[in-house]
Copies of this chain bind each other. A is one copy, B any other.
Amino acid sequence: MTNAAPVSARRDLTHAPLLVAARGGTPSHVPVWFMRQAGRSLPEYREVRAGVPMLQACFTPDLACEITLQPVRRHGVDAAILFSDIVVPLAAAGVDLDIVPGTGPVVASPVRSAADVAALPALDPAQVEPVAQTVRLLVRELGRTPLIGFAGAPFTLASYLVEGGPSRHHERTKALMHSDPDTWHALLDHLAGVTLEFLRVQVAAGVDAVQLFDSWAGALSEADYRRFVLPHSRRVLSGLADAGVPRIHFGVGTGELLGAMREAGADVVGADWRVPLDEAARRVGPGAAVQGNLDPAILFAGWDVVEAEVRRIVAEGRAADGHIFNLGHGVLPETDPTVLTRVVELVHSLEPGRR
């Protein structure tokens, strides 16, 4: 792994609304993108993915580039998010795992001991060269639209490795962190290294922002989060402090953790639909932007309901030092994509907060 500052191929997008809002400035309009905007809600996505396994799609630059571009073309969102998966850097490093349709990532040999942790491979940047290539293709194609890089946070990666796959209760993960903190911290330290390396590769290739997804962090109490997770997420986020790109940090069900996730080094903290953005802004404190809050289930409730919710969220977002419009979780597969396009148009028509 290299500790050198990444050499960036980034475009100068100083006035892009997403980046202005992430810095806490006043954007020309409220920027909007959707978590999982590239994916199963789009027929053009289902078409190009037909017969192509998920990991193969992530490691095929032309295809990953096309999938990343699809929602930008269709919806006119203010950012592309790199099509990837949380386990991509682990798979690239040589961890034996697969993404099983209908289940999620399945790890061949779960990681549960100090020896298992010691045997985990580091990530060599060359192993994610296809991802770097995807980013370079995207930077050329995207024009003035920012590209958000993507990685799973150490805790979420650890849960997949310890449980051997998706878990509802994370009992083995929590048991390990509490019963063997040395092994736990060694595991998280290793994963922070992998994650940081993966994001540095993306930054060097030209992404304009990064989102660190801690999908499962909401399963933890604040005390456990602070003790067992925050130092490692901070290592990732602070390791990118010199990169000059906004760092977005999100997990679902993290109402109790918003302040701690900000402390981990986030410039933008994502909130789900349980905490309104004015309250989220209060919890993250001054100087951080917020993102999220539209319940993806609301997109099924008809336009009048969607419109009222969008207006509420934009109004509440004005209380924050920067607001990026987004869902409070990923787009659900059955979502009608035409509703997403209308949301973008509506958000763009509303007045952003001024500072």
A residues apposed to B, CB below 8 Å: 169-175, 178-179, 218, 220-223, 253, 255-256, 273-276, 295-298, 300-302, 305, 329, 332, 334
Q: Which of B172, B221, B274, B297 contacts A171 (CB 8 A)?
A: B297
User: How many copies altogether?
Assistant: 2
In the assembled complex, the CB of A84 is this many whole angstroms from the nearest CB of chain B, namely: 22
A178: which B residues are within 8 A, CB to CB? 298, 301-302, 305
List chain B residues, Cβ under 8 A from A295: 174, 221
Find A300's partner among B174, B256, B296 (CB 8 Å cutoff): B174
A297 in complex: contacting residue of B170, B255, B334, CB < 8 Å: B170
User: How long is the Cα–Cα vector from A193 to B220 in the complex, in angstroms?
Assistant: 36
- Min distance, Cβ A294 to any Cβ of chain B, angstroms: 11
Q: B296, A171: Cβ atoms under 8 Å?
A: yes
Of B174, B256, B274, B297, the residue contacting A301 (CB under 8 A) is B174
| A300-B172 CB under 8 A given contacts A255-B256, A295-B221 | yes
A305 and B273 CA atoms in complex are apart in Å by 33
Report whether A301 and B175 are in contact in the complex, using a CB–CB cutoff of 8 Å.
yes
- Report yes or no: B221 in contact with A300, Cβ–Cβ below 8 A: no
Asked if A332 contacts B171 (CB within 8 A), the reply is yes
Contacts of A300 in B (CB 8 A): 171-172, 174-175
Hey, which chain B residues are within 8 Å of A256, CB to CB?
A: 255, 274-275
